[in-house]
Amino acid sequence: MTATLERPDGTVAAPKRPPRWWLLLGKDKMAAVAAVVLGLVLLTALAGPLLLGDAATRQDLDASLRPPSFDHGITGLLGTDILGRSVLARLVEAAGTTLSVAMPAVLFSLVVGSAIGMWAGYHGGRRENIAMRVADVILSFPSLLLAVVVLYVFTPSVANIVFILALARIPIYLRTARAEAAELKSRLFVDAARTFGTASWPTIYRHILPIAMPTLLTVATLDFCFVMLSESSLSFLGIGIQPPDVSWGLMVAQGRQFLQTAWWIAVLPGVAIVLTTVSATILAAWVRLATDPAQRWRLTLPTSKRGKRRVTTEVTA
């Protein structure tokens, strides 16, 4: 061969495997904290009820509306509600219910909505039109009304709540995924895949999903909050989670009337919702960077300097 094969050594730093994800996570304090919070929430939801026994439903009218204090053992740590039930125990109990409604609902709508959206956006034309019109119909129909109708007709079981919440949120993912796919399908590397004869689903899976995923995940984490609150509205109307089961949303709803006298009943589950959602959002933002090879190196920097770094690659490129 000729001189064309020469390639100067050392022009680029030695090839390296991308750093392990947990090392990257360790470098980003915010994301690490968020991951720990989410881990704790999950752990609580799974193991909490086993440890607590019946503490969440044990009533003690003498202990009604006790404020948070250290005087009454662990169960009294976060105060009690009107029936004297431990708010802490109820929070732990509710974590499981809340997650078992919100997570499947979000996952279901994420998967179904994204799949249809990417399919529609990738193919365009009539398939896209039909998918989008259906999405518009679902979106234009008040989801709460839909939920009320469905849940009055059928029993308000967890599965039905999950189904109805998921159905109402599918258009959100469908639209996002369609927009991403419609833009990505005109990219050259998608054309390249087509010249190899790659069929549409493998192309979507290989080239569209990985790029659209971080955006969809971000939408999903925001939606997580929305779903939890929707569930609480349903519970408030009496067609959501049925007592004696309890969810964070239901706790917020029930505690509203005591907001002035016993703030902890409504505020603490609210804090739980916010903490969980914010952690999920932070983690999603981190995932967005960590899955992008061109951006990943930013995570190895101290947080304060990240914004400045954009120009680097352009200068040295």
Q: Note the residues at the interface with another protein (CB under 8 A).
A: 1-8, 10-12, 15, 17, 187-189, 191-199, 202, 206-207, 210-211, 291-294, 297-298, 301, 308-309, 311-313, 315-317
Nearest approach in angstroms of CB 96 to another protein is 36
Beta-bridge partner residues of 80? 86
Residue 257 or 300 having the CB closest to another protein: 300
Nearest to 239 by CA among 251, 247, 231: 231
Nearest approach in angstroms of CB 45 to another protein is 33
Residue 154 or 205 having the CB closest to another protein: 205
| Amino acid letter, residue 251 | M
Helix axes of 87-123 and 263-290: crossing angle, nearest 10 degrees: 40
Tokens describing residue 67? 């404020």
Nearest approach in angstroms of CB 197 to another protein is 3
| Amino acid letter, residue 106 | V
Rounded distance between C-alpha atoms, residue 268 and residue 67, angstroms:
12
Residue 7 or 50 having the CB closest to another protein: 7
Residue 219 or 299 having the CB closest to another protein: 299
Nearest to 58 by CA among 86, 95, 79: 86
Residue 57 or 215 having the CB closest to another protein: 215
Q: Is 80 helix (H, G, I), strand (E, B) or coil?
A: strand
Q: Exposed, middle or buried: residue 129 (CB in 10 Å: 0-12, 13-18, 19+)?
A: exposed
CA distances, 218 to each of 106, 120, 173, 286 (Å)? 12, 21, 11, 10
Nearest approach in angstroms of CB 1 to another protein is 6
**φ/ψ of residue 86, rounded to 5:** -65, 125
Nearest approach in angstroms of CB 27 to another protein is 13
Residue 214 or 249 having the CB closest to another protein: 214
Nearest approach in angstroms of CB 213 to another protein is 10
Residue 39 or 202 having the CB closest to another protein: 202
Rounded distance between C-alpha atoms, residue 317 and residue 314, angstroms:
5
Rounded distance between C-alpha atoms, residue 32 and residue 25, angstroms:
6
Nearest approach in angstroms of CB 296 to another protein is 9
